[in-house]
Amino acid sequence: MGVPADLTIRSAGEALRSGELTAAQLLESVLNQAARTEAELHAYLTIDHDGARTAAAAADAAFEKGEDLGPLQGIPIGVKDNMVTDGVETTAGSQVLAGYVPPYDATAVAKLRSAGAVIVGKTNLDEFAMGSSTENSSFGPTRNPWDTERVPGGSSGGSAASVAARSAIAAIGSDTGGSIRQPAALCGVVGMKPTYGLVSRYGLIAFASSLDQIGPFGVTVDDTVTVLEAIAGHDPMDATSFNGPVPAFRTDLDRGVEDVRIGVVPELSGEGIDPDVRQAFERTVDALQGAGAVISEVSLPSSSYALSCYYLIAPAECSANLARFDGVRYGNRVDGSTVEEMMGRTRRAGLGPEVTRRVLLGTYALSAGYYDAFYGQAQRVRTLVARDFATAYESVDVLISPTSPTTAFELGARTQDPLSMYMSDVCTIPSNLAGEPSISVPIATDGSRLPIGFQIMAPALGEQMLFRVASAVEHLAGFEALSAEKVGA
């Protein structure tokens, strides 16, 4: 079998059911991998050894009784630390919540548990999910398993790195402007953002409510689908949760791309894209064409405004979402002689610079006299972005672009210039604004052996087509994932 931590959900599931492996053994393999790699990678903020072992034992007991909860039974999964876990510290990567233990589980986490998954621990992230490199974590950055001098991407850098490094078989993260897809691309794994509303946000510590979505990471597209199947579905605790029928995600996974109409978005695939990335992207486009897809160029004119639009809407919503962190009811309070002083000091001490920047920015964009020109205008531009997508999907089934303009950059390379960091999200942001699903599939490595990701976007609830094309890309690219032994060697 090799190292169990190298298994996919699918192959692990087969081994668990054939008796070749127990869930406890699988977990130990993953925990050993974490023990080997964490000192360098710091993908996790908390590893819940006891909780995970208990869950693995329960999964084994269920297997013995002949109970089959589904493909995630006994599978070690990482959870981004901005999703609350009952009884397990949840920090959102922030000092204001250091030591905070939530009294309830996020719905997505509860669903994983009901499916028999083994929650290994909480993965590192940019503070409150704000960032594109995980360098904004107030507990120290995560390093890229492919090159530990480089970032794993962000904000779900820990989840992406843990899957790439095999210290988790799969993971879940959150994506507001690309925070699943971009780290997936930089870490050479599959990462996907579902249609807005498909996965409950209850228990996801809110960054930008109308953009945030929880989504899966996996080594394969198939694994990613498996995780999504477990966490998707209507939740009465989330009023923005989609209440219609959940698409059948995997139906067309092996159907290939014959006659599928694929649109290349020039605004996201040309200027500013690294030559190696562009080359790998174009090779894959050719391969898709060779496999029978109909390729065309489809413009999304307002996508060049998407970044500006996002950097008004997201901060505005986050400025209100983070107002609750005031030291009154929970969190790390810094005292004051008045409650106003207490709140002001608590927030100054507890919120990091990037978070502070965005809260201030959002507050400004909403303030009297500036609302119309900034936030109000951004909301209208958002409509234009959504309309561009709608028009595009009249002539194509999916849209494609590179996931990230570059491969993993060095730690510290962009931390001095917020704007340069924001540019990391230029390809991923548009589908968040439109609330539509998109996925990153690893296709190649560049000259420095750094992974390159391929982004596919589909219309709302178009996950079936999305995964179909993703699966085809995966087969055509033949990308080789890291193996457990090679990581940290």
Residue 115: both structure tokens together: 């499916």
Q: Transcribe 388-427 into DSSP letters.
A: HHHHHTTT-SEEEEESSSSSPPBTTSSTT-HHHHHGGGTT
Minimal distance, residue 324 CB to other proteins, in Å:
4
Nearest to 318 by CA among 429, 209, 199, 177: 209
* Catalytic residue of the set 94, 132, 133, 155: 155
Minimal distance, residue 193 CB to other proteins, in Å:
12
Closer of 266 and 418 to other proteins (Cβ): 418
Interatomic CA distance for residues 52 and 67, integer angstroms: 19
Minimal distance, residue 377 CB to other proteins, in Å:
5
Closer of 359 and 392 to other proteins (Cβ): 359
> Residue 167, SS3?
coil
Question: How deeply is 14 buried, as exposed, middle or buried, from its count of CB atoms within 10 A (0-12, 13-18, 19+)?
Answer: middle
Burial 357-373 (b: 16+ CB within 10 A, else e): ebbebbbbbbeeeeeee
DSSP character at residue 65? T
Minimal distance, residue 162 CB to other proteins, in Å:
21
* Catalytic residue of the set 179, 241, 424, 440: 179
Is residue 43 within 8 A of residue 167, CB to CB? The reply is yes
Answer whether the bond into residue 155 is a cis peptide, omega within 30°: yes
Closer of 371 and 475 to other proteins (Cβ): 371
Minimal distance, residue 101 CB to other proteins, in Å:
8
Interatomic CA distance for residues 444 and 479, integer angstroms: 6
Closer of 375 and 479 to other proteins (Cβ): 375
Give every CB contact of residue 175 below 8 A, 6+ residues apart in sequence. 156, 181, 191, 193, 212, 213, 214, 215, 428, 432
Minimal distance, residue 411 CB to other proteins, in Å:
21
Is residue 441 within 8 A of residue 456, CB to CB? The reply is yes
Minimal distance, residue 320 CB to other proteins, in Å:
5
Closer of 335 and 394 to other proteins (Cβ): 335
CA 344, 350, 356, 362 torsion: positive or negative?
A: negative
Closer of 90 and 134 to other proteins (Cβ): 90
Closer of 236 and 290 to other proteins (Cβ): 236
Q: Which amino acid is at 171?
A: A
Interatomic CA distance for residues 98 and 338, integer angstroms: 23
Residue 55: both structure tokens together: 């869950």
Closer of 70 and 376 to other proteins (Cβ): 376
Token match 């995964």: residue? 467
As a whole number of Å, the end-to-end CA separation of the chain is 20
Give every CB contact of residue 433 below 8 A, 6+ residues apart in sequence. 211, 306, 309, 310, 313, 382, 385, 386
Minimal distance, residue 110 CB to other proteins, in Å:
12
Q: Determine whether 367 is an active site residue.
A: no
**Active centre residues (catalytic):** 80, 155, 179
